[in-house]
Amino acid sequence: MKFSTRIAAVATTAAAALALSACGGAATDTSPGDGGSGDTAPIKIGIIADRTGATGDVGTPYNDGMLGYIDWINAKGGIKGHQIDADSNDYAYLVPRAEELYKKYVNDGAVAIQGWGTGDSEALRTKVAADKLPFMSASYAEPLTDPKQSAYNFVVAPTYSDQMRVALNWIAKDAGGKAEVAVFHNDSPFGLAPVADGQKWVTEKGLNLGYKAYPMPKTPNQVGLLTQAKSQGAKYIVIQNVSSPAAQVAKDIKAQGLDMKIVCLNWCSDELFIKTAGADNAEGHVMVQPFAPPTAEKPGHKVIDDYLKSKGSSLADKGLHYAQGWYTMDVMAKGIEKALDAGGELTGESIKKALESVSVDTGGVVGAGTVSFTADSHRGSTGTGIYEVKAGQMVELAANQTPES
């Protein structure tokens, strides 16, 4: 009978070996070569998206915008005849899952990565630098703009810290000099990103502002937090979180009859905030938003709107995060185009080099309109708009605000 055990063992091993070899095999390298006339190999890009996780409310339109751009440019014949072959997967805002996806993309021969959150961008920062893959994400954390710290990360919009500085400047002006500010932030690296820099700004600039940060609980109401802010005497609440919890704060302010003004940084400065809170509850709150909302009707919105209309939708339906995803992908595509122009093999390294001298006109949608990087700074733009909610619409109070303006 030992014999049959052995046969079984051999069979098992053979099956296991087969399974192993099926999983194995090096990734086929199909990166576009040196631009020979017949060379139209697709360009592989990996996209890490949050569609169902904690930030899925804004992650979904952002990801749709990216995919929309890719569909649009591929229909036009791609980048210099190369189709973009994008692999987009939902990681549900879970860092380990993002790492897993990243490994998969590297293995599939991606030449650039589009990420999403601060947590995953920070976690992958050293890896993208080591793997020499340009990485853009929807995280606008300050450390990601410094090539010395994050060689392959590119940030298209003003950082959270810059937005915070602009918000504090505006508050100081609006309050006539003296005010108490409460900062409600998502309890994560994303939420914490601008908190310390905001405190520094108040001290450095000698602003007469009280400044206190509160991590937001995952409860369906924020009354407890508002009570703390009230005892601090806060009249302004800066929110560094996504739209749904921020809208809850707006509702609770109204319900409690508090005299407080919300100043949202970019992830809750959107149509979703107004819709979720209700136009009445959102009225009068302020938004710092580097990406122009569709209602601002910038020239750069037209191309997106035309594309969406051809699909039976419109930018007004999709909202500003769609445009944000679209132009983030556009900046990367322009970098790839420039790298192809330069000749030679298209690699992460050549794209990085091209991006460091690229200047992309976004038709007024991102920051002051132009996104450009240099070898010393991966900060794409510094200007941000400030909007106020009036009758359910975002109305521009000031355009192109920088911390120093």
Partner 1 sequence: MATATGIHHRTYRSELRLRHTKAEYFRLALMLVLLLAAPYVLDKYWLGIANVILISVIGAVGLNILVGFTGQISLGQGGFLAVGAFTSVIISDRAGVPVPISIAIAVLMTAAVGAFFGLPALRLKGLYLAIATLASQEIIMFVVRRWEWLTEGKGYLEVERLHVGGFQVERQMFEVQWYWILLALATLAVVVARNLFRTTLGRSFMAVRDQDIAAEAIGVNITRAKVTAFAVSSGFVGLAGALTAHYTETVTWERFTLDVSVLYLAMIIVGGLGSIAGAVYGAIFMGLLPALLTELVDVLGSSLPSLSDQLPALRNAVFGIAIIVFLLVEPRGLDRIWTRMKDYVRFWPFRY
Closest approach of partner 1 to the CB of residue 21, in Å = 6
Closest approach of partner 1 to the CB of residue 38, in Å = 27
3 state DSSP class of 263: strand
Task: Pick between residue 116 and residue 327 the one whose CB is nearest to partner 1.
Answer: 116
* E strand or H helix that includes residue 210: strand 208-215
Closest approach of partner 1 to the CB of residue 89, in Å = 7
Least Cα distance to 93 among 117, 128, 57, 62 occurs for: 117
C-alpha pair distances (Å), 362 with each of 13, 140, 299, 302, 395: 57, 18, 8, 11, 20
HSE on the CB side for 243, CA within 13 Å? Answer: 21
**Token pair recorded at residue 79:** 């980048």
**Token pair recorded at residue 257:** 């009859």
Closest approach of partner 1 to the CB of residue 22, in Å = 10
Distance between CA atoms of 366 and 299, rounded to whole angstroms? 11
Task: Pick between residue 25 and residue 220 the one whose CB is nearest to partner 1.
Answer: 25
Closest approach of partner 1 to the CB of residue 123, in Å = 4
Task: Pick between residue 78 and residue 189 the one whose CB is nearest to partner 1.
Answer: 189
Closest approach of partner 1 to the CB of residue 107, in Å = 4
Task: Pick between residue 123 and residue 342 the one whose CB is nearest to partner 1.
Answer: 123
Distance between CA atoms of 88 and 45, rounded to whole angstroms? 8
C-alpha pair distances (Å), 163 with each of 43, 157, 190, 222, 266: 34, 10, 14, 23, 8
Closest approach of partner 1 to the CB of residue 296, in Å = 31
Q: 């605000």: which residue's tokens?
A: 401
Closest approach of partner 1 to the CB of residue 42, in Å = 16
| 88: number of Cβ within 10 Å | 17
Beta bridge partners of 114: 47, 136
Written as one string, the DSSP assignment of 53-99 is STTHHHHHHHHHHHHHHHHHHHHTT-BTTBPEEEEEEE-TT-HHHHH
C-alpha pair distances (Å), 256 with each of 180, 227, 230, 249, 283: 19, 9, 11, 10, 15
Closest approach of partner 1 to the CB of residue 30, in Å = 15
Task: Pick between residue 119 and residue 383 the one whose CB is nearest to partner 1.
Answer: 119
Residues that bind partner 1 (CB under 8 A): 1-2, 4-6, 8-9, 13, 16-17, 20-21, 23-27, 51-53, 89-92, 94-97, 99-100, 103-104, 106-108, 119, 122-123, 125-127, 130-131, 187-189, 192, 196
Closest approach of partner 1 to the CB of residue 18, in Å = 11
Task: Pick between residue 59 and residue 380 the one whose CB is nearest to partner 1.
Answer: 59
Task: Pick between residue 102 and residue 327 the one whose CB is nearest to partner 1.
Answer: 102
DSSP 217: P
Distance between CA atoms of 192 and 257, rounded to whole angstroms? 28
Distance between CA atoms of 344 and 34, rounded to whole angstroms? 4
* Whether 113 contacts 134, CB under 8 Å: yes
DSSP 188: S
Task: Pick between residue 228 and residue 359 the one whose CB is nearest to partner 1.
Answer: 228
Least Cα distance to 287 among 262, 260, 264, 261 occurs for: 264
Task: Pick between residue 182 and residue 366 the one whose CB is nearest to partner 1.
Answer: 182
